[in-house]
């Protein structure tokens, strides 16, 4: 449990946390081993979100593409916490290494950003949303705070435009996690950026 501050976050002690840890482990264990409880949990989540558009792939929180008309609750609080955690990490890296370029913030991608077909379909279905919102916001935050930043999306989108190959997904499904090409391209691009930072040491 943390609270955003001007220069990062403050860890908040939680009264009684140790006393309830065993119960949380017990409940989680039952949940993980019960198909029925998992289906009930899924149904509950579906009911909670039935009035909200599914703005992205499975596992993405809804605020990743913006918040038109205030549809996403706690949007500003979620983003503030994310940014403050990045800032806290940056300050700790500076403290440990004595270098302001000791941390490289790398922004990964989603298929709606870097697969042209998905991107065009997303923009047509959700003209009020921005598939690059999260990247733009993190980039602006990092620039403002002097944090080295690198985004994979330009190279990924260029690769997809030239080859038509997806960089996300497996076995005919072209969304989700990086596939082999996605991992290879990400590793090579990040290595280049790290070398640039090291050369400037």
What is the pLDDT averaged over residues 54-76?
Answer: 71
Of the pLDDT bands very low, low, confident and very high (cuts 50, 70, 90), residue 58 is very low
Of the pLDDT bands very low, low, confident and very high (cuts 50, 70, 90), residue 59 is very low
24-33, 87-96, 192-201: range with lowest mean pLDDT:
24-33
pLDDT tens digits, residue range 168-177? 988 777 788 9
Which pLDDT belongs to residue 100? 84
pLDDT tens digits, residue range 95-135? 998 888 889 999 999 999 999 999 999 899 888 889 999 99
Q: In sequence order, what are the residues at sequence separation of 6 or more whose Cβ sits closer than 8 angstroms to the Cβ of residue 69?
A: none
Of the pLDDT bands very low, low, confident and very high (cuts 50, 70, 90), residue 11 is confident
Kindly tell me if the per-residue pLDDT of 17 is higher than 70: no
User: Cα-atom radius of gyration of the chain, to the nearest Å?
Assistant: 20
Q: Angle at Cα 96 formed by Cα 103 and Cα 102, nearest 5°?
A: 20
d(CA 122, CA 117): 9
Which pLDDT belongs to residue 192? 95
DSSP state of 139: H
Q: What is the residue-averaged pLDDT of the chain?
A: 85
Q: In sequence order, what are the residues at sequence separation of 6 or more whose Cβ sits closer than 8 angstroms to the Cβ of residue 118?
A: 111, 112, 174, 175
Cβ atoms of 93 and 103 within 8 Å: the answer is: yes
Which pLDDT belongs to residue 180? 94
Picking from 101, 128, 199, 118, the residue whose alpha carbon sits closest to that of residue 153 is 118
Of the pLDDT bands very low, low, confident and very high (cuts 50, 70, 90), residue 1 is low
């Amino acid at each position: 449990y943390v609270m955003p501050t001007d220069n990062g976050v403050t860890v908040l002690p939680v009264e009684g946390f140790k006393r309830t840890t065993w119960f949380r482990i017990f409940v989680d264990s039952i949940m993980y081993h019960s198909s029925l409880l998992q289906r009930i949990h899924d149904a509950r989540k579906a009911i909670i979100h039935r009035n909200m558009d599914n703005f992205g792939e499975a596992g993405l929180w809804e605020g990743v593409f913006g918040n038109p008309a205030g549809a996403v609750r706690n949007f500003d609080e979620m983003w503030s916490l994310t940014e403050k955690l990045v800032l806290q990490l940056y300050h700790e890296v500076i403290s440990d290494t004595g270098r302001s370029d000791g941390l490289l913030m790398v922004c990964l991608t989603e298929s709606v950003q870097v697969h042209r077909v998905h991107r065009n379909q997303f923009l047509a279905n959700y003209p009020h949303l921005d598939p690059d919102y999260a990247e733009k916001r993190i980039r602006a935050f990092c620039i403002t705070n002097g944090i080295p930043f690198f985004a994979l999306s330009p190279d990924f989108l260029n690769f997809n435009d030239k080859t038509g190959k997806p960089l996300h997904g497996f076995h005919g499904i072209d969304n989700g996690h990086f596939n082999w090409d996605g991992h290879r391209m990400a590793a090579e691009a990040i290595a280049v950026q790290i070398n640039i930072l090291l050369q400037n040491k």
